[in-house]
Structure 1
Amino acid sequence: MNKIHVLEHIKFALEAKLSEAKQAADSALQDATHEQSAAETQYDSLSIESGYLAHGQSERVNEIHKSIVLFEQSYDLNQARYIIVGSLIKAVDLADKVHWFYFGPCEGGLKVTIQQHGILIITKDSPIGQAMYEKALGDECEYKVGSELYNYEIREIL
């Protein structure tokens, strides 16, 4: 797996997410300020609801901007001995199935696909992130979500 390609795909995914958020924010703002959104009675709350939606969408845009900056700061092509923010991780489960993870500063749960391999972004806030953080090559990590127990062996840290 080429870490540079992974980083490019993550950046592209974040930019696509930002574009969608901007479109949603613009649409919500237009709805909130449209003349048909004006309250006709004291019980008509469409304009208020549209305003709240527009504010929420603009906050979403700001959060994605922050995520892009944090990812740019976390990009490190140096190979680490331990899993840290910026690590690309190849792990194998008990069934010998290969899993790829990118330890990001945020945006946990975002997935990108490269060469038919899914790469899941994990963070230190997640159960898997807590289990993998600062693990070394060959270490095993185990975590539980609900009643499910997950086990991985760290095979590569890029």
Structure 2
Amino acid sequence: MNKGHVIEHIKFALETKLAEAKQAADSAHQDATHEQSAAETQYDSLSIESGYLAHGQSERVNEIHKSIALFTHSFSQDAEKRAKEGSLVQLIDTDDKTHWFYLGPSEGGLKVTVQQHAILVITHGSPIGQALFNKEIDDEVVLTVGDRTQHFDVVAIL
């Protein structure tokens, strides 16, 4: 797996997410300021609701800008022996199934596909992130969620 390709895919996914958020914010702003959104009675809350939606969408755009800035720092991290922010980690489970994770600063749950491999962005705050951080190659990662326990071996850290 080429970490550079993974980083490019994550960058593209973040930029796409930003473009979609900007479009949603612009649309919500236009709806909020459109003449048909003006309140007709004191009980008409359409304009207020549209304003709240526009504000929320603008906040999402700001959050994605922050995430992009945080990722820019994580992308420049060199590979180390231990899994840390900026690491691309390959795990194998007890069924010999391979799993790829990028340890990111935010946007946990973001998924990209590179060379037919799904790479999931995880953060230190997630259960798998907590179990994986500071592990080395050949370490075992034990993940317990509810009453289900999974075991993984660390195969590669890029």
- TM-score by length of structure 1 reads 0.98
Structure 1 vs Structure 2: percent identity of aligned residues?
A: 66
1:95 match: 95
> Residue 155 of structure 1: CA displacement?
0.4
RMSD: 0.8
In the TM superposition, what are the counterparts of 1:67-146 in structure 2 within 5 Å? 67-76=67-76, 78-146=78-146
Indicate if the aligned counterparts of 1:4 and 1:77 stay in contact, CA closer than 8 A: no
Structure 1 contact 3–77 (Cα < 8 Å) conserved = no
Cα deviation, residue 146, structure 1: 2.1
Amino acid at match of 2:132: M
Structure 1 unaligned segments of length 5 or more: list them. Answer: none
Specify the code of the residue in structure 2 equivalent to 1:153.
D
Shift of 1:148: 2.1
Offset at residue 77 of structure 1 (A): 5.6
* SS of structure 2 residue aligned to 1:58: helix
Structure-1 separation of matches of 2:76 and 2:95: 31
Question: Partner letter of residue 50 of structure 2?
Answer: S
Deviations 1:102-144 (A, max 9, x none): 0001100000001100000010000000000000110001111
Query: For residue 13 of structure 1, what is the aligned residue in structure 2?
Result: 13
> The residue matched to 2:81 in structure 1 has which SS?
coil
Q: Distance in 1 between matches of 2:149 and 2:3?
A: 29
Which 5+ residue runs of structure 2 have no aligned equivalent? none
Task: Give 3-state SS (helix, strand or coil) of 1:63's partner.
Answer: helix
Q: Counterparts of 2:143 and 2:77 in 1: how far apart (Å)?
A: 28
- TM (norm. structure 2) is 0.98
